[in-house]
Amino acid sequence: MEEYQPHHDEIGFNADEAHNIVKECIDAILGGVDYNQNNVNQWIAAIVEQSLTHLVKLGKTHKYIVTCAVMQKSGSGLHTASSCFWDTTSDGTCTIRWEN
């Protein structure tokens, strides 16, 4: 009987690849647009969906969580922090900051 052995993630989570993929998605959707209250929901949905689709195409045995925050530049401050409890050999994180 053949046993299915999912091969172990050689390098765990490839953050660079993910970084490039998501950055391209953001550039494509938000490149050159101004903040518009009506469109923000659409933008966020599009960014997140496209990123997820492209990440899935990598074919890795990973679950993905993609979060996107879009804020108007008005001089106010925003802080974000994250704390994760996982297996460092197979899991990782990647953050992209983008502004226009």
Using the rule CB under 8 A, is 5 a contact of another protein? no
Helix axes 15-30, 40-57, angle to 10 degrees: 150
Q: Build a one-symbol-per-residue string for 57-76: x at contacts with another protein by CB under 8 A, - elsewhere.
A: ------xxxxxxxxxxxxxx
**Residue with Cβ nearer another protein (24 or 86):** 86
Using the rule CB under 8 A, is 29 a contact of another protein? no
| DSSP tag of 6 | P
* Buried-state track 26-64, b at ≥16 Cβ within 10 A, e below 16: beebbeeeeeeeeeeeebbebbeebbbebbeeeebebee
Tell me how far, at minimum, the Cβ of 17 lies from another protein, in Å.
16
Contact residues toward another protein (CB under 8 A) are 8-9, 11-12, 35, 37, 40-41, 44-45, 48-49, 52, 55-56, 63-91, 93, 95, 97, 99
